Amino acid sequence: MKRNPTVAIVGATGAVGAEFAATLEKRNFPVGKLVALASARSAGKTMDFRGEKVVIQELTERSFDGVDIALFSAGGSISRKYAPIAVKAGAVVVDNSSAFRMDPNVPLVIPEINPQRIRDHKGIIANPNCSTITALVPLWPIHRKNRIRRMIISTYQASSGAGAAAMEELVESTRAHLEGRRYEPKVLPHPYAFNVFSHNDTIDLETGYNGEETKVIKETKKIFEDDSIRVGITCVRVPVLRAHCEAITIECDNPIGENDVRRILSDAPGVKIVDDREKNYFPMPIDASGQGDILVGRIRRDVSDPTGHSVAMFVSGDQLLKGAALNAIQIAEYLL
């Protein structure tokens, strides 16, 4: 890999695409040249990068000539078509879609957990689902000390997970609601303002689990390299712009207490403990938004488990940053 690689952003006009550019700049990633790629309707527009305007180009099969690292966030179908083309042109792809996550030949990487898997890549490295990342960054240090054999998760997921259009729909529908106007949803299947609903991914009619939930279950097993770990999860959309929250209860092989968890997480990479019982101050989307750590709080013994093997916690993380762009760029940093 070059010292100053040419970096392409596929899906440059999307919410994650914008975070790619901002995060590359903030972390002083040594970009020799930035190539911004999007659909034909966005070609000719510009995006800001390091004080200059970068002209957005139409994504074509010739877009990756001379590209060293390609950051993809344009949906699974685009990744399935263009990621192999980028690899053939000589680029290493870090893909934010679900297209390659469960491919046994593609590393699924959270740098705080399994950076060693990056070297196994054959041209494509997959970024996990945002809900998976938010849960596993704080759970991995615990798992290493006291194996987690079961986890129960409930997510409270922000609009950013459904893209820039969903974020705009939340803003506009909230404005309409406050002004007493009718607003017909266009991006999401249900009214978003002042409402909570089951995650909009497709439901498996046989199991009752939706695609988002299934991703977290399968990805956890792959990243932890433990097919026996049991994961139960319910994913929900909430009217928040960009940070996910999750309520998590874990059951470990050996007894575990809240002080054990605090001690383990006190110096864990990518984790910040926010757990003030006296002030009733715990992780919130408003604090998680715009920064890269996963906030962890409400750490307490699970009183429903008399064996003392279980603890509960509440976490929050920026879906656009650690849940997407930041995780991908941390992977790219390892490539250097």
The catalytic position among 121, 130, 143, 245 is 130
Burial class (CB in 10 A: 0-12, 13-18, 19+), 279: exposed
Active site residue 245: no
* Token output for 299: 């750490």
> CA–CA separation, 260 vs 58, rounded Å?
52
CB hemisphere CA count around 86 (13 angstroms): 31
The catalytic position among 121, 143, 199, 244 is 244
Active site residue 130: yes
Report the run of H or E that residue 170 belongs to, with start and end: helix 164-178
Length of the chain: 336
Contact 150, 114 (CB under 8 A): no
Place of tokens 């017909």: 184
CB hemisphere CA count around 229 (13 angstroms): 25
> CA–CA separation, 19 vs 28, rounded Å?
14
CB hemisphere CA count around 268 (13 angstroms): 28
Q: Closest Cα partner for 140 from 231, 223, 251, 23?
A: 223
Q: Within a 10 A sphere around the Cβ of 25, how many other Cβ atoms?
A: 15
Q: Closest Cα partner for 153 from 243, 220, 218, 235?
A: 235
How far is the CA of 284 from the CAs of 120, 239, 245, 273, 318, in angstroms?
36, 13, 7, 12, 10
Catalytic residue list: 130, 244
